């Protein structure tokens, strides 16, 4: 589904090893949490997975397509919600969704079906024909989520998706993640909010300074660590943040 093989990435002419020999893979039909303190290298990894940053060392395969060698096929397979939604401010919500649907070649019928369901869940229907420039951060986040799901991707990638969402929207998002998984699809999301991860993840990877420190089945990890909470396990393996 998603394979990350020995990937590294350095910034500042090699002075900052943001991602350092990272390897793990995701199976179909799971919610996979990508955990780490601020500055651990989550966003950098996700940018390589989604083709925003080049993979200069190691390789990444999305649904069997190498992101470097076959970027279009790889990109068709996932929907991506970045940490800070970069959206065309001059568009209305509807224009943005139509744009995304056109890019992915989604039929009128399918875009109508996905959009009406998600607008209702996120209470965004009233704002759909208004300009995105007037949206709150949470509303931008929600329209970005709808845009990422418009082509019903096999893999859904989200970078810190709970940030800026009010409780009802965060609840709706978690429900959507579970439904996506239950339909045999895969969710890969990063977070530093451990309570959320503990509740919804089937498997997790914890990174520290760009290196994998723990990866596995949520329940097995907890059992192996003497039924400690994810927070306690995290504190014992993940180190502090770089802030």
Binding flags for Mg ion, 33-72, as an x/- string (CB under 5 A)? ---------xx-----------------------------
Q: Does 153 bind ligand ADP (CB under 6 A)?
A: no
Q: Does 40 bind ligand ADP (CB under 6 A)?
A: yes
Query: Which distant-in-sequence residues (6+ apart) come within 8 Å of 179 by Cβ?
Result: none
Rounded to 5 degrees, what are φ and ψ at 11?
Answer: -110, 175
Instruction: Give Cα separations from 88 to 50, 77, 99, 147 (angstroms).
Output: 19, 23, 10, 12
Question: Considering the complex, what minimum distance in angstroms separates the CB of residue 196 from ligand ADP?
Answer: 16
- Answer with the entry of Mg ion, ligand ADP, none that 88 interacts with (C-beta below 5 to 8 A by kind): none
CA-CA distance, 119 to 126, in Å (whole number)?
9
- Answer with the entry of Mg ion, ligand ADP, none that 6 interacts with (C-beta below 5 to 8 A by kind): none
From the CB of residue 165, how many other CB atoms can be counted at a distance below 10 Å?
Answer: 20
Binding residue for ligand ADP (CB under 6 A) from 1, 20, 33, 42? 42
Query: Which distant-in-sequence residues (6+ apart) come within 8 Å of 214 by Cβ?
Result: 204, 205, 206, 221, 233, 237, 238
C-alpha atoms less than 13 angstroms from C-alpha of 194 in its C-beta half-sphere: 15
Across the chain, how many H-helices and E-strands are there? 9, 10
Question: Considering the complex, what minimum distance in angstroms separates the CB of residue 92 from Mg ion?
Answer: 29
Binding residue for ligand ADP (CB under 6 A) from 33, 41, 79, 153? 41
Q: Does 50 bind ligand ADP (CB under 6 A)?
A: no
Q: Which stretch binds ligand ADP (CB under 6 A): 33-41, 89-97, 113-121, 143-151?
A: 33-41
Is the separation of the CB atoms in 150 and 81 below 8 Å? Answer: no
- Answer with the entry of Mg ion, ligand ADP, none that 11 interacts with (C-beta below 5 to 8 A by kind): ligand ADP
Binding residue for ligand ADP (CB under 6 A) from 1, 8, 26, 43? 43
Q: Does 38 bind ligand ADP (CB under 6 A)?
A: yes
Q: What is the DSSP string of 126-142?
A: GGTTSBGGG--HHHHHH
Is the separation of the CB atoms in 83 and 23 below 8 Å? Answer: no
Question: Considering the complex, what minimum distance in angstroms separates the CB of residue 44 from ligand ADP?
Answer: 3
Query: What stretch of H or E contains 118?
Result: helix 108-121
Binding residue for ligand ADP (CB under 6 A) from 7, 18, 162, 233? 18
Restricted to residues 104-163, the positions that interact with Mg ion (CB under 5 A) are none
Q: Which is nearer to Mg ion, 43 or 169 (CB)?
A: 43
Residues in touch with ligand ADP (CB under 6 A) = 11-12, 16, 18, 36, 38-44, 242
């Amino acid at each position: 589904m998603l394979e990350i093989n020995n990937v590294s990435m350095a910034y500042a002419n090699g002075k900052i090893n943001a991602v350092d020999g990272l390897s793990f893979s995701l199976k179909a039909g799971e919610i996979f949490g990508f955990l780490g303190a601020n500055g651990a290298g989550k966003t950098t990894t996700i940018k390589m997975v989604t083709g925003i940053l080049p993979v200069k060392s190691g390789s990444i395969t999305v649904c069997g397509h190498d992101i470097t060698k076959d970027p279009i096929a790889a990109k068709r397979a996932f929907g991506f919600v970045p940490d800070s939604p970069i959206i065309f401010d001059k568009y209305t919500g509807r224009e943005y969704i139509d744009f995304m649907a056109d890019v992915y070649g989604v039929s009128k019928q399918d875009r109508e079906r996905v959009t009406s369901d998600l607008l209702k869940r996120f209470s965004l229907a009233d704002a759909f024909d208004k300009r995105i420039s007037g949206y709150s951060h949470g509303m931008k986040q929600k329209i970005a989520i709808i845009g990422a799901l418009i082509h019903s991707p096999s893999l859904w990638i989200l970078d810190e998706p709970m940030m800026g969402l009010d409780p009802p929207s965060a609840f709706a998002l978690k429900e959507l993640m579970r439904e996506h998984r239950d339909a045999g699809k895969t969710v890969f999301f990063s977070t530093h909010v451990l309570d959320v991860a503990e509740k919804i993840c089937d498997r997790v990877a914890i990174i520290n300074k760009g290196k994998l420190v723990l990866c596995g089945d949520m329940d097995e990890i907890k059992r192996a660590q003497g039924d400690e909470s994810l927070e306690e396990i995290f504190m014992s393996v993940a180190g502090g943040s770089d802030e």
